[in-house]
Amino acid sequence: MRYLSAGESHGPCLVAVIEGLPSNLELNTENINRHLARRQQGYGRGGRMKIETDKVEVLSGLRFGKTLGSPLTLLIKNRDYDNWQEVMDPYNPAAKGKEGGAKLTRPRPGHADLAGALKYNHQDTRNVLERASARETAIRVAVGSVGRELISCFNINIYSHVVEIGGIKARDMNLSFQELFSKAESSQVRCADPEAEERIIEEINRVKEEGDSLGGVFEILVTGAPTGLGNHVHWDRKLDGRLAGALMSLQAIKGVEVGFGFDAARFRGSQVQDEICYNEERGYYHKTNRAGGIEGGLSNGEKLVIRCAMKPIPTLYKPLQSVDMETKKIHKAGVERSDVCAVPAASVAGEAIAAWEVAQAFREKFGGDSMEEVKANYENYMGIISNR
Ligand SMILES: Cc1cc2nc3c(=O)[nH]c(=O)nc-3n(C[C@H](O)[C@H](O)[C@H](O)COP(=O)(O)O)c2cc1C
Q: Write down the pLDDT at residue 353.
A: 98
* CATH class belonging to 2-386: alpha beta
Nearest to 143 by CA among 307, 48, 2, 347: 2
Ligand 1 center to 129 CA (angstroms) = 10
Mark 219-235 as b/e (b = at least 16 C-beta within 10 Å): bbbbeebbbbbbbeeee
Q: Which helix (H) or strand (E) holds 76?
A: strand 72-77
Nearest to 291 by CA among 377, 352, 230, 235: 230
Atom of ligand 1 nearest to the CA of 253: 26
Task: Give ligand 1 pocket residues (Cβ under 6 A).
Answer: 46, 110-112, 132-134, 137, 250-252, 311, 313-315, 338-339, 342, 345-346, 349
At residue 301, φ and ψ (nearest 5 deg) are: 95, -15
Ligand 1 center to 195 CA (angstroms) = 27
Q: What is the pLDDT of residues 205-253, one digit of tens each?
A: 999 999 999 999 999 999 999 999 999 999 999 999 999 999 999 999 9
Ligand 1 center to 334 CA (angstroms) = 15
Atom of ligand 1 nearest to the CA of 339: 8
Atom of ligand 1 nearest to the CA of 48: 8
Nearest to 257 by CA among 312, 311, 310, 308: 308
Those residues whose C-beta lies under 8 Å from the C-beta of residue 184, and which sit 6 or more positions away, are 159, 160, 161, 162, 190, 191, 192
- Give the range among 98-102, 116-120, 323-327, 366-370 with minimum mean pLDDT: 98-102
Atom of ligand 1 nearest to the CA of 112: 22
Q: What is the pLDDT of residues 37-82, one digit of tens each?
A: 999 999 988 876 777 789 999 999 999 999 999 999 999 999 999 9
Residue closest by Cα to atom 12 of ligand 1: 313
Q: Is the pLDDT of residue 178 over 70?
A: yes
Residue closest by Cα to atom 19 of ligand 1: 252
CA distance 39 to 50: 12
Ligand 1 center to 28 CA (angstroms) = 29
Q: What is the pLDDT of residues 331-346, one digit of tens each?
A: 999 888 889 999 999 9
Ligand 1 center to 45 CA (angstroms) = 11
CA distance 115 to 182: 41
Give the chain's mean pLDDT: 95
pTM: 0.96
- For 373, counting Cβ atoms within 10 Å of its Cβ (0-12 exposed, 13-18 middle, 19+ buried), the class is middle
Mean pLDDT, rounded, for 266-277: 97
**Under 8 Å between Cβ of 349 and 133:** no
- The two beta strands, 283-286 and 72-77, are unpaired
Q: Write down the pLDDT at residue 170.
A: 98
Ligand 1 center to 103 CA (angstroms) = 21
Give, for ligand 1, the residue of 339, 347, 353 to mutate: max count of ligand atoms closer than 8 Å to Cβ.
339
Ligand 1 center to 133 CA (angstroms) = 6
CA distance 48 to 56: 18
Ligand 1 center to 110 CA (angstroms) = 9
Q: Is the pLDDT of residue 98 over 70?
A: no
- For 156, counting Cβ atoms within 10 Å of its Cβ (0-12 exposed, 13-18 middle, 19+ buried), the class is buried
Q: Is the pLDDT of residue 99 over 70?
A: no
Give, for ligand 1, the residue of 108, 313, 318 to mutate: max count of ligand atoms closer than 8 Å to Cβ.
313
Ligand 1 center to 158 CA (angstroms) = 23
**Under 8 Å between Cβ of 227 and 301:** yes
Q: Write down the pLDDT at residue 335.
A: 87
